[in-house]
Structures are given as C-alpha cells and as structure tokens.
Structure 1
Amino acid sequence: MSHLKKIFTFYTLVASIAGIAQQQNPILNGFWIQEGYGRILAIKDSTYAYYNLDNMTCKVLVDGNLAGRFTVVSAKENLLVLNPGGIVNYNFKRAASLPDICSTPAEKNTSFEKNFQTFWDTFNDNYAFFKERNINWQQVYSEYFPRVKKLKTEPEFALLLREVVGKINDGHIRLEIPDSLIPKMNQITSKPTKPKYEIISDLQKTYVEKIKSYNNGVIQWGLLKNSKTGYIVLTDMNNFADYIPEAEQDSKDFRKKYEAVSETKTPLQMFADELQGVDNVMKIIIDDFKNTESVVIDLRFNGGGYETVALKFLSYFITNQKNILSVKAKTKYGFSESQNYTLISAKNSYRKKVYLLTSHNTASAAEIFALGSLSYPNIVRIGSPTAGIFSELLWKELPNGWEFSLSNEVYFDSKSKSYEGIGIPVNYDMNYHKDRSAFLNDFYSNDNFVDKALEKVYSLEK
C-alpha cells in the first residue's frame, strides 16, 4: 500500500479517458502482485488477466480490456494503484514474472486433505475477523483435519466445510457446492409466512399513499398517511441503471431484460450507469418531497449490493462533507494501510430530518449506508442493529473446483470503530427477531398489519 492515506471523493468513472491514458503508459505492462486478496495481475498494453492464487493453483479470475475493468489511480515503476469501481483502491507491487504455478494448466484435485488445506490456508491469510467471531483458527485445523483424513465421499466433505463455516457465523462466507450434493446434505430451510415483497405491499397499503416505483420496485416512495413525512424503501443497492423503458419496469421479465443490457457493458460503465440511475430517480424524489418536513428511509429488507450506490443515496440526505469511514484489508502479513473515504453532499440534497429504519436483515452495502449515517446527527436510526457484515466478498476456488467467499476488508466509522459482528446500533430499538422468518411474521398481529418502527416515527413527529 502507499504510505499515504487515500482520500476518496465520489466521482464519475470515465472509462474512455482512462483507456487512452492506460494505452499511452507502457509502465503498466508486466506482472503485478496485489497487496492482500491473493491475486496477481498481468498487463499487456490495453489487455489484462487477473489471477486468483492459492497454495496449489493459479487460475484466471477474469480478463479483457483494462480500461473497462480498472481506473488507473497512479502508476509508478514498482507501485500500481487501480480502482475497480468501488470505494477501495487496489495496490499492486511489480513482479518479475508470474509464479510458475500460473503457467501450469491446473488439474482438478479431489483430495479432501489438499482441498481442506487450501480452504484453511486461504482463510488464515485473508479472513479478517477471527477475533470478532471468537474463532481460534488453529484449533479449527487441529479439530477438523484428522476428521478430513477419514472422509470417504464428497457429500461428507461438503457437510464438514459447512460445519466449519457455521462456526464462523459470517453471512459473507459462501460455499458454492454442486447441486448434485445438496439433497444429500439434509439441509433445513425455513420459509416466512409471506415473502418480503408482500410485507412491503401490506406496509404501503397500511401506512403509505401516493406510491411510486422505479425499476421493478428496487426503490419505492410515497408519503406517510396523515403526515408531512416522506417514505422510501430500498430493497437492494443495485439495479438502478436506466436500462428499461418506464412502461416495462414492472414486467415479470424485468430482471432478464435488465441483465441482458447490463451484460453488454464493461464493469466500469455498468457501475457508472448505476450511479447515474440513482441521480435520475433521486431528482424526482427530492422534488416529490419538497413539501415534507421529514423522510423515512427503510433499509430493513435490504441485503446489500454496491457500496457506491449506497453512499450515492446517502449523499442526498446529508448537508456537509465529512470523512465518514475507513477501510483496510487483511493480508498474509497483517493488514494494509487504512484508506479514508470522504462523502460529499449531493447538489440538491434533502436537508431536513431523516429516519433510517434498519433490522438484522440490513446487510453489506446497506450497512455501509447505516455506517455513514453515524456521522450525521440529523439521521435518527430506528429498528434493530444491522447484520454486521460489511466487507466485499473475496471469492476463491478450491482445487476441486468448488468456489467460496470470505470477508477480508474491515470497515470503520469516522472514530475508527468497527461494527463487524455487532452491526450498526439504533437510537430506538424495536427488538426485532434475528431470525428472518420471525422478523417478517412479527409485522402481523391477529391478522392486522402493524409496523412498530413507523408507529415510532409518528410518535416522534407529534
């Protein structure tokens, strides 16, 4: 990492300009080892290959046109800083060549011992929260490796890995197990009485009027009945690009049409389109709320998406520029240097009281919105603490081909406090259940819909 902390501001990604600069800068050519993340970048003129590296394999994660994937922040002889379209810059140090393992075609290795070793080593090098999750990782190895040696079948190995993941209890750890193995794993899933879209529909029927929607309901807004309070519900922090005509935004195949357009874009252009979509819809919402005295932002049903989208939305509900958070990444040798993030208020932001509703289901990028809100006293949080999973998902692959993710980034508030595992606290606690089904079912009492958080908003507005 650079020895200077990076101060980031919200900016528009202009891939075409970056492309010209990159193609004219031969210093970019060569091989670059990323600090943390277990990855290596190979650049040749305008193209790149991005490798995932572990103790046994080195595979291309993604490749293509460099200008469409990264913005060059700075380039020196031995230090390259790139931005992938998020709020965290990636730092790379030059290498003389790719490791030999990257030049050898990887063969699938089904040895349970070698796959477990790769799994354990990757977490040992890059997982950031053993202390916060009260996990002794060396003890996990001592307990599970002897069991691994006795395994006979893949379903048994899959169950064992899931058991280890369950101990960590981190919602950003994912295991992509082949479908053929899942029925043999006796998975138990619980289903809510009603899905979240029905909960939101009943909420609006009970409490909201003059409802409007954008992009198949990813954001909906209106006015709380018998009040001067606006209401916004955000169900995701993605899918905001203006790709689909308004007349088709509520069609059953919206997602299919949206993804078809999105897949034609480079990653940087797609991220830029998402932010432009936020600007477009917020211009309408701010105008609709010009006569309100307060606004509710409901993130209780939001499981995340893009942190840049979350912070773009937050910029419309603040009044002044502040350093709101910092991020550092776990590396094999410790942690990278922290990078600070400064949020700038949108030009025509909402400048009155804001009520932010959260639950234990408010996760990831939605939590980063909540994290940023801690710096602004005009934002009052109601509900329950958030899920406590902030990091981007760092995806890796086992030698047998199974993919998994982990949390390698630590987010702090402006006072250098981390909320990993405990979530962002609220000012008024509604004591929501942590279990998702129980949380959703709790909105109903004797067949009547009651929203404790919105009732609290009404009482505070009296």
Structure 2
Amino acid sequence: MTNFYFTFFLLLIALSTNAQQHPVRLLKNTSWVQQGYGRYLKIEDSTYTYYNANSLSCKALAEGKLDGRFSVVSLDNNKMVLNPGGIVDYIFTRVDTLPPKCTHMDTTAASYEENFKVFWETFNDNYAFFRERNVNWKQVYQEYLPRAQKIDSPKEFSNMLLKIVKKIGDGHIRLEIPDSLKAKAVVAAPAIKRKKDDIIKAIQERYLVNTHAYNNGVISWGKVKGTRTGYILIKDMNGFAKKQDKGKDFRSPLVEFEEELNGVDQVMEKILADIGKSDAMVIDLRFNGGGLETVALRLLSYFVSGRKHVLSVAAKTPQGNTAKQACILQPANNAYQGKVQLLLSGNTASAAEIFALAALSYPEIKITGSRTAGIFSEILWKELPIGWEFSLSNEIYTDPAGKTYEGTGIPVSQDMNYSGNRLDFYNSFYSGDRFTDVAMDQLHQKKASE
C-alpha cells in the first residue's frame, strides 16, 4: 500500500509539472472573459484571438501566437492568469463559449443614440476616476442622452463626445474620429515654439561636461560642471532596445518587451561606469511623457537601496475593482549608492509618473520641480459600433498605503511652479534668446558652495 501511495504521489507531481511545462496545450479550444477590461479571449491550438466587447458588438482586437503575446502565470480549470509583458497580470474566468456577438457580427447600423449608450456604458463599467475628476457620470447620461436622440450627423455626434471627453479632463482619454470631422486649427499669432530636443541640448551645453547619449537620446548623461554630481535625463520610457537591422524577422510583443529591459541593463551598466562614482545623482524626468512601466521600474531599480513594496494596481470592473496586485521593486545588483535628486514637471506623465510613484517609497530620493500630470493608468482602447476608437483609464495605481495620485500628480518637496502647458513649459526656459534652467542653476550653486 505504501508503494501505491508513493507511486500516486509521483504521478501527481508529474502531471503538475507537465501542466506547467505545456500550459498552451491545456488551453486548446477554450474561451475566457477578462476581469476588468471588457474583453474575451479565444484560444485555438497555439493561437489566440482577443476581443473587445460592449453591449452591442464584439470585435477582434488582436490575434497571433499565444506564447508570443502572453506568458501563463497560473492556470486551473476555471481561472487563468496571464501576463502581457507588463507589471499587471490579467485575470480570466473560463466560459463555455464566446457570446454570439463575437462570432456573428450584426451588420445593422447602430444609431447615434445606441453609440452614445455604448460610450457611456463602457466608461461606467471601466473608467476608474470619476470621483477624482469630479464628474457625475449619471448626470452626464441624463444631460446628453436627449441630445444624442436628436443627432443626425457624424459631425454633431463627434462634437458631443468631444465635449464629454473635455469635461472629464483625463489626458489618457482619446477619441479617434475621421479627419474630415476634426475642427480646423485656428491660426494664432506667431509664437516661438521651443522644442524638447533643443532644450535638452541647451541643458547639456550650459550645465554639463562629458555628455553621452544612447539610442537617439532616449537617455543621456554627463557630469554637472564644477561638481561631483552626475546627471541623467530620461526622455522616454521606451526605445531602449538595441536598434535592429531593417528586414529583421518579426519579433513577438513579449520578445520586444524583454529587449527593452535588456537595453536598460546594458545602458545603465555604461552610465554607472561613467558617472557611478559621483557623490550625488540627478535624474531628470521633466520631459518624459511615458512609455513602458516595466522600463520605468527597471531604471529606478538602479537607484534604490532595498527591496520594497512600491505600488499596487487594481482594475475597475462593473462590480467594483479587481484585487490589488502588489509590485515589489528589487534593487539592481550594481545599484548606485549615493544621493539622488529627481526632477519632475507637469509634463512628466504615465510610465514616468510610475517611476516617481515608486520613488516615493524611498525617502532618501529628493523630489523637486512640479507636480506630475496625474495620469498613471495603462490606456484601455475600445471601439464604438460606428467604428471610432476611444481610450480610457481603467487601472488604479496607488502607493503601498492605498493612496492614489490620479488627477493630482506626484508631489514635490520644492516647487518650481512649472506650467502644465507643454508650450509654456518649454518657453519658460528662455528669456528672449537667453536660456536658463532655474533648477540646474540652484543645483550648481548649492554644490559649488558645499
């Protein structure tokens, strides 16, 4: 009998191991609904089709090889957790079949009223920040439904939706309408338009020595003149992968994401070899509008001293929110050990804000500049029956204590009062043709006096 139980135990181990090694095989011909995103997933053999669904329609969003788009985190009969290459896992519940609307498209044209209802319902089910944006969404329905019922042209309908989007005031909400419906830009009085790259170049020339750049300036670094302070400017949170030769074979999304992280590791090794012995380090995210949150956190890992829970993420669902997922940051093996100052602005957004949010868990990192944009969520893209795409924020990022900075942005200890308007922010570095960066001036003066 003992041998029987031992043999049975070994069989269970073998079955479990096989399930982990061949999860795609176990998923053949299965259907799933995703929690918090309004999407369905159909898996056939080793391929998948990912659907966007609403009350009227269900359309294929993406398709391809499953193991190139998602990694399987866990799997049982009725629940599956996949990771798309980011810090947030996607949770799916098994269903017997896809809804009929996913496999039999209704070709009947939806009215503007029906399109409005889909727009409103999608936000009602998935948008997470009505309270933070001070928007009464039920009141929006009551106000705009009668208008939608009277609309008889796409121009009127697009104008109405654009008013609603403006009312919410979330930089991650976008409405893609046909070019023919877009308002013509009003020609204003001529103004000097400063460019981001021109400002970055001016900072380097005026304040830095021994400057270097990587991948067309996605990250650049040097030493602050006359000091033992290093300076790193990160312009985007993507574009770190090594430049590939044209004509290279197609790479799956998971491979592309991994190449981004490999690029971060390679360039950070070079940066720390160049300026890693500096007494202090400035990390400038003032011009960074976002990118990949995985890149942001990998970069931050090179400037922290301990393993910490730095943030949590949940997704909005019609029933509430999904369970929070904790993000733990592990310092890089060769992390910088000196003082760190982080520069932010109102143009620091999205994944760059996730860098700043995680940095709050390390009080030794001093944060100056101005509050960030306050738009943290991954962009969730949806589509109206009329065919117009729109996006919204459905993910709730909080600090470890549960506080969200959506709409308010990450605070700073010393406020430089930067404008949140990009053009005004860029112009603030100039007085006529004379360039100056007050934050860098203060830094240089402080270090020179020490």
Q: CA deviation at 1:109?
A: 3.0
2:369 equivalent to 1:392: no
The CA deviation string for residues 208-245 of structure 1, in whole angstroms up to 9 with x for no partner, is 12111111111111111111111111111001101248
CA contact (8 A) 1:237 1:310 kept: yes
2:260 equivalent to 1:274: yes
The CA deviation string for residues 318-358 of structure 1, in whole angstroms up to 9 with x for no partner, is 11100000001000111001000000000111111111110
Structure 1 pair 418/213, CA: closer, same or farther in 2 (3 Å)? same
Match of residue 295 from structure 1: 281
Stretch of structure 1 that moved more, 279-288 or 441-450: 441-450
Aligned-partner SS, 2:182: helix
Q: Could you tell me the TM-score, scaled by structure 1's length? A: 0.89
2:74 equivalent to 1:74: yes
Cα distance in 2, alignment partners of residues 361 and 402 from structure 1: 27
Cα distance in 1, alignment partners of residues 45 and 175 from structure 2: 36
Candidates 409, 417, 436, aligned match of 2:422: 436
Structure 1 pair 86/281, CA: closer, same or farther in 2 (3 Å)? same
Match of residue 249 from structure 1: none
Q: CA deviation at 1:150?
A: 2.2
Aligned-partner SS, 1:199: helix
Cα distance in 2, alignment partners of residues 100 and 402 from structure 1: 22
Q: CA deviation at 1:199?
A: 1.2
Q: Could you tell me the TM-score, scaled by structure 2's length? A: 0.92
Q: CA deviation at 1:191?
A: 7.4
Match of residue 3 from structure 1: none
Candidates 407, 417, 441, aligned match of 2:403: 417
Match of residue 345 from structure 2: 359
Match of residue 133 from structure 2: 133
Structure 1 pair 28/130, CA: closer, same or farther in 2 (3 Å)? farther
Structure 1 pair 232/173, CA: closer, same or farther in 2 (3 Å)? same
Q: CA deviation at 1:267?
A: 0.5
2:320 equivalent to 1:327: no
CA contact (8 A) 1:22 1:67 kept: no
Cα distance in 1, alignment partners of residues 68 and 100 from structure 2: 28
CA contact (8 A) 1:49 1:62 kept: yes
CA contact (8 A) 2:289 2:351 kept: yes
CA contact (8 A) 2:24 2:66 kept: no
Q: CA deviation at 1:446?
A: 3.9
Structure 1 pair 49/27, CA: closer, same or farther in 2 (3 Å)? closer
CA contact (8 A) 1:159 1:185 kept: no
2:405 equivalent to 1:426: no
2:113 equivalent to 1:113: yes
Match of residue 23 from structure 2: 22
The CA deviation string for residues 404-453 of structure 1, in whole angstroms up to 9 with x for no partner, is 00000000112211100000001111011121111111111243211111
2:207 equivalent to 1:207: yes
Structure 1 pair 234/364, CA: closer, same or farther in 2 (3 Å)? same
Cα distance in 2, alignment partners of residues 414 and 220 from structure 1: 31
Matches within 5 A, 1:92-241: 92-107=92-107, 109=109, 111-183=111-183, 193-241=193-241
Cα distance in 1, alignment partners of residues 20 and 204 from structure 2: 46
Q: CA deviation at 1:27?
A: 4.6
Q: CA deviation at 1:454?
A: 1.4
**Which amino acid is the alignment partner of residue 72 of structure 2?**
V
**Which amino acid is the alignment partner of residue 344 of structure 1?**
Q
Cα distance in 1, alignment partners of residues 432 and 147 from structure 2: 49
Count of paired positions: 431
CA contact (8 A) 1:19 1:68 kept: no
Cα distance in 2, alignment partners of residues 331 and 187 from structure 1: 43
Match of residue 297 from structure 2: 311
Cα distance in 1, alignment partners of residues 182 and 29 from structure 2: 44
Q: CA deviation at 1:105?
A: 2.2
CA contact (8 A) 1:304 1:365 kept: yes
2:324 equivalent to 1:338: yes
Cα distance in 2, alignment partners of residues 171 and 32 from structure 1: 31
Cα distance in 2, alignment partners of residues 202 and 328 from structure 1: 41
**Which amino acid is the alignment partner of residue 145 of structure 2?**
F
Structure 1 pair 443/437, CA: closer, same or farther in 2 (3 Å)? same
Structure 1 pair 98/289, CA: closer, same or farther in 2 (3 Å)? same
Cα distance in 2, alignment partners of residues 265 and 341 from structure 1: 27
The CA deviation string for residues 259-281 of structure 1, in whole angstroms up to 9 with x for no partner, is x75x8210100000000000010
Match of residue 355 from structure 2: 369
Cα RMSD (Å) of the superposition? 2.1
Q: For structure 2, which runs of at least 5 residues remain unmatched after alignment? A: 1-17
Aligned-partner SS, 1:144: helix
CA contact (8 A) 1:192 1:438 kept: no
Cα distance in 1, alignment partners of residues 19 and 219 from structure 2: 32
Q: CA deviation at 1:455?
A: 2.1
CA contact (8 A) 2:54 2:122 kept: yes
Aligned-partner SS, 2:22: helix
Candidates 286, 293, 303, aligned match of 2:272: 286
Identity rate of aligned residues, in percent?
53
Q: CA deviation at 1:112?
A: 1.2
**Which amino acid is the alignment partner of residue 60 of structure 1?**
A
Higher normalized contact order (CA 8 Å, seq sep 6+, divided by chain length): 1
Stretch of structure 1 that moved more, 208-217 or 309-318: 208-217
Cα distance in 1, alignment partners of residues 73 and 190 from structure 2: 46
Candidates 422, 444, 447, aligned match of 1:458: 444
Cα distance in 2, alignment partners of residues 402 and 191 from structure 1: 34
Match of residue 12 from structure 1: none
Cα distance in 2, alignment partners of residues 200 and 191 from structure 1: 20
Cα distance in 2, alignment partners of residues 399 and 137 from structure 1: 21
Structure 1 pair 84/286, CA: closer, same or farther in 2 (3 Å)? same
Cα distance in 2, alignment partners of residues 369 and 190 from structure 1: 36
Structure 1 pair 114/345, CA: closer, same or farther in 2 (3 Å)? same
Cα distance in 2, alignment partners of residues 225 and 93 from structure 1: 57
CA contact (8 A) 2:230 2:278 kept: yes
**Which amino acid is the alignment partner of residue 359 of structure 2?**
S
